[in-house]
Amino acid sequence: MLRHLVFVCLAFATLIATHAISVPSPLERKLNLFPNHLTLGSSFNYIIPGYNGIAHHRRTPFAVAPNGNSYVAYLVDDGHVHVQQLDKNLKAVGAEVKVSGYEASGLVAHNDGFALLTRQNASTPNGETVATLVRVKGTTIAWDVALNGPTHAVTGWGTSSDVLDGDLTWNGQYYGAYFIVHGYEGGAQGHYGDSIEYVNANGQIYTGPYSNNWGCSHNEGIAILETQQLPFLTLCSNDWHTGIFLNTDTRSMSGPKISNDQTWAGYGGEPFGGEGGSYSNVAPFENGRYIVAWQTRGAKLVSTDAQDNTVLDVTARWDVHNVAISILKNKSTPLATVPLTSGGAGDTNVNWITKTAIVDHVNVRVAAYGKNQAVVTWEQVINPECSAGTCTGKFVGTYFQLVDSNGAKVGSPLLTTKVTVAGDMRVMPNGDIVWPYVNVQWDPSAQGTPAYTNTLSFARLTVA
């Protein structure tokens, strides 16, 4: 009798578990793919090596104008960023515009053209490029302005940018450019940090208190989102103060901390995507809240650094990365901050979307979906082999999880093996989310060996 009862209980438990797994996602049948939809004027290398040489998607910036038209950009090896205008059906309009530059870092679409954040040559003492904002009207450059370098340097505090890993946004009055800088003179010489620069519609740099020539030292991740008033919402990750700060009001390694992460020189866990990343990691809700999404290895233990009592040393909870989110009350205040007391766990207040020690989760992105929901997406890697902060393994697909403005998961995630996220996730005028990707079988175990394509694909996640 007891054996029969145990069998029935086990069968019922299996039925419940199977049913739970088979419950469809609320996003089911709402993902539409358009493979090889756009033929490009040139081929481009769609892979960029990340930390430890692991292959990342090279960002193809995508932006939507108020009139519903859009632009997509891609980096060509000849030192130009190509920008293609698209109509409401994502079909090419006219010829590509070629802008001198060595990185496609951020894109804003206007009804009459676009603005691009890139790197251009300049006469810097260290021979490196500088961050440059280029405004194009129609197919003609209306103005461009260097955001660091010799023509912009603060006395005794010059910087260049051999990599940006940044983003560009616009609130109707100011552009906000957030990017990595490399000091070539003064106290910052030889060090990496970041800069936030605000520029008006005429290409004039805002010189008030919110622009910052040096903020989050040794930056390892950037997020920026436009707000009605300056300063814009910003977050930074760094390898010194071990985690992610909501630095809207400070522009530095202070302000509320939303993540503790194990870091070392040049490594911060690639929370916002690492090389080729720093986009689509923060999104607004209509009720005034915001959501931030990132990958993290957790914080099993935090302790005060023996050499600097303002710094917490962090012991990672896992070798793999999991998906975390934080809900912000407003652009300056999170609903919850992580523990900062030495001697305990440093991730007890993290809002986990995934939480496992045996599966890796990377390329975490987020976009607003409807009035007060958002879609969090990530790539999942099984059988991970992890070393020095990164993992290789088998790519099993891209997940899409619906969440509400309290951070609660809504239903089960949608899984697909046919798409990745390789460019900005943008909300269209009708509320759909659209982003570009390259139609290939993704292999996260590959090193960042160049691979070329002359087509782009698009994905659309509909709200209706």
Concatenating the DSSP letter of every residue in 415-459 gives EESS----S--EE-TTS-EEEEE--S---TTSB----EEEEEEEE
> How far is C-alpha 283 from the geometric centre of its chain's CA atoms?
11
**pLDDT > 60? residue 3:** no
pLDDT at 15 (0 to 100): 33
Average the pLDDT over each of 67-81, 313-327, 419-433, 443-457 and give the range with the smallest value.
Answer: 443-457
- Condensed to tens digits (0 to 9), the pLDDT of residues 206-253 reads 988 898 888 888 888 999 999 999 999 999 998 888 999 999 999 988
CA 323 – CA 353 distance, rounded (Å): 5
**pLDDT > 90? residue 387:** yes
- Condensed to tens digits (0 to 9), the pLDDT of residues 35-89 reads 999 999 999 999 999 999 999 999 999 999 999 999 999 999 999 999 999 999 9
Judged on CB neighbours under 10 Å (0-12, 13-18, 19+), 266 is: exposed
Locate 25 and state its tokens.
């996602």
**pLDDT > 70? residue 303:** yes
**pLDDT > 50? residue 117:** yes
CA 105 – CA 96 distance, rounded (Å): 17
Backbone angles phi, psi at 423, to 5 degrees: -165, 175
**pLDDT > 50? residue 409:** yes
- Condensed to tens digits (0 to 9), the pLDDT of residues 356-368 reads 999 999 999 999 9
**pLDDT > 90? residue 344:** yes
**pLDDT > 80? residue 18:** no
> What is this structure's pTM?
0.94
- Condensed to tens digits (0 to 9), the pLDDT of residues 84-113 reads 999 999 999 999 999 999 999 999 999 999
- Express as a percent the part of the chain with pLDDT over 70: 94
Mean pLDDT of 3-12: 38
CA 206 – CA 394 distance, rounded (Å): 47
pLDDT at 215 (0 to 100): 87
Residue whose token pair is 């005429």:
202
Q: Grade residue 454 by pLDDT with cuts at 50, 70 and 90.
A: very high
DSSP category for residue 58: P
| CATH number for domain 49-359, candidates 2.120.10, 1.20.120, 2.60.40, 1.10.3470 | 2.120.10
pLDDT at 273 (0 to 100): 94
pLDDT at 152 (0 to 100): 85
- Condensed to tens digits (0 to 9), the pLDDT of residues 252-279 reads 888 999 999 999 989 999 999 998 889 9
- Express as a percent the part of the chain with pLDDT over 90: 84
Mean pLDDT of the chain: 93
What residues contact residue 69 under an 8 Å CB cut-off, 6+ apart? 85, 86, 87, 88, 93, 109, 111
pLDDT at 445 (0 to 100): 78
Helix, coil or strand: residue 5: helix
Please report, for residues 49, 166, 380, 407, the alpha-carbon distance to residue 234 in angstroms, rounded to integers and kept in the order given. 25, 11, 27, 19
Q: Give the number of C-alpha atoms closer than 13 A to the C-alpha of residue 281, restricted to the C-beta side.
A: 31
Locate 230 and state its tokens.
């300056």
pLDDT at 24 (0 to 100): 85
**pLDDT > 90? residue 4:** no
CA 260 – CA 56 distance, rounded (Å): 23
